[in-house]
Structure 1
Amino acid sequence: MMDKELMTMLICPVSHSELTFDRERQELKSSVSGLAYPVRDGIPVMLESEARVMSTEEKLGKAAPTS
């Protein structure tokens, strides 16, 4: 669970933009940089080297197509 006060202080270290918390994937996402930072044991890992590159659909806030 991410602390709401902590969320207001965190920004993407690459783009310096706001982050959104994806509860299901336990990630902090930046639609500006297209990176998703993992949250492990409630601790955000704000390292670019640890971030996952989001798909175009994720960056645009759309659901990924299903097969």
Structure 2
Amino acid sequence: MNLAPTLLDILACPACHAPLRADDAADELVCTGDDCGLAYPVRDDIPVLLVDEARSTR
């Protein structure tokens, strides 16, 4: 996954607005919110920030 660090600084979870962290091994952006726990896929270095496309990490 090749995302600019400045992009990660401004991206937020669409569901709860918490910051996202990169999980390079899974090619996902994972919500850091305490109650949310969604992981959004990154396809071809493009984050897919749609709640319907996210998977639950809990």
Higher strand share: 2
* TM-score normalised over the length of structure 1: 0.78
Q: Which has the higher contact order (CA 8 A, sep 6+)?
A: 2
Alignment-derived partner of residue 60 in structure 1 = none
TM-fit CA distance, 1:31: 3.3
Specify every segment of 5 or more residues in structure 1 that has no aligned partner in the other structure, as ranges: 56-67
Runs of 4+ that moved beyond 6 A: none
Specify every segment of 5 or more residues in structure 2 that has no aligned partner in the other structure, as ranges: none
Looking at CA atoms only, which structure, 1 or 2, has the larger radius of gyration? Answer: 1
The total of aligned residue pairs comes to 55
Which of residues 31, 42, 48 is equivalent to 2:51?
48
Higher helix share: 1
